[in-house]
Structure 1
Amino acid sequence: MGDMTVRMDNVGIVVEDLGAAIEFFRELGLELEGRTVVAGEWAGRVTGLGDQRVEIAMMRTPDGHSRLELSRFLEPSVIADHRNAPVNALGYLRVMFAVDDIDETLGRLRALDAQLVSDDVVRYEDAYRLCYLRGPEGILIGLAQELN
């Protein structure tokens, strides 16, 4: 195979309310890199949807290494909804974010109606405190605070 390089560029999340999703991920600590409408035949060839128009917001972590692409489909309309799939459903599960202070972060996200999926933040040995939570539209994310 040689020295192939691969790097995670972004994770895509489809939403109904782009503004609310941007606000939520901003509160988490991501920065809005850009916002645009993508349309045209080339875009439809990538997705297989043909003629499409999608409003996209690119969010970036402060270290610049990770990005979320938040998308709102204008055309064609949405035909399936996986936002409230249970944690043990097949397919993509969640994006995990490392944070400095999980309690402080949760406090800020709860002000935007984020809900823990279980009763508590769980401690894993002396290494991490972890939780899963649902943000706007039931989007599932994880938070992890390294204990050192």
Structure 2
Amino acid sequence: MTRFPIIRIITKLLIPYILLFGLYVQFHGDYGPGGGFQAGVIFASGLILYGLVFGLQAIKRVAPPIVIEKAMALGVLVYAGTGVLTMFLGGKFLDYSVLEHHVMPKWHLPSGQHLGIFLVEVGVGITVTSVMTMIFYTFAGRRRIHDT
């Protein structure tokens, strides 16, 4: 894409807005439509657009594969850790109401339901972003096999 400077400039202008919109969907997901999955796909689309325009090596410098692998595990741990925390506090897996009685009075945060949903959506967002990016790395890094 080095021969297309307009595409490169427009991409540089669009990517911050794509990532910002992904964050908006992530943090607005508690109050309206949207949340972790949608935000993860939007955020990954910004990274993938960068990789498509500037090349696979450029995106791997911005988001190294080892970091993406760790983020996949981190997202699942945040999701599952929220459920395990609610079990340790005496509720069922992902029973957010126990967070209100055990965690919320100390921190002066909104409600246990809100905190639980927020943590789960953050975990989903991290996981979806990293998995979509890793899928792009896998497909973009394939070599074509030539028939002889």
TM norm. shorter chain > 0.5? no
TM-score, length-scaled by structure 2: 0.22
Bigger strand fraction: 1
Q: Which has the higher contact order (CA 8 A, sep 6+)?
A: 2
Max radius of gyration: which structure?
2
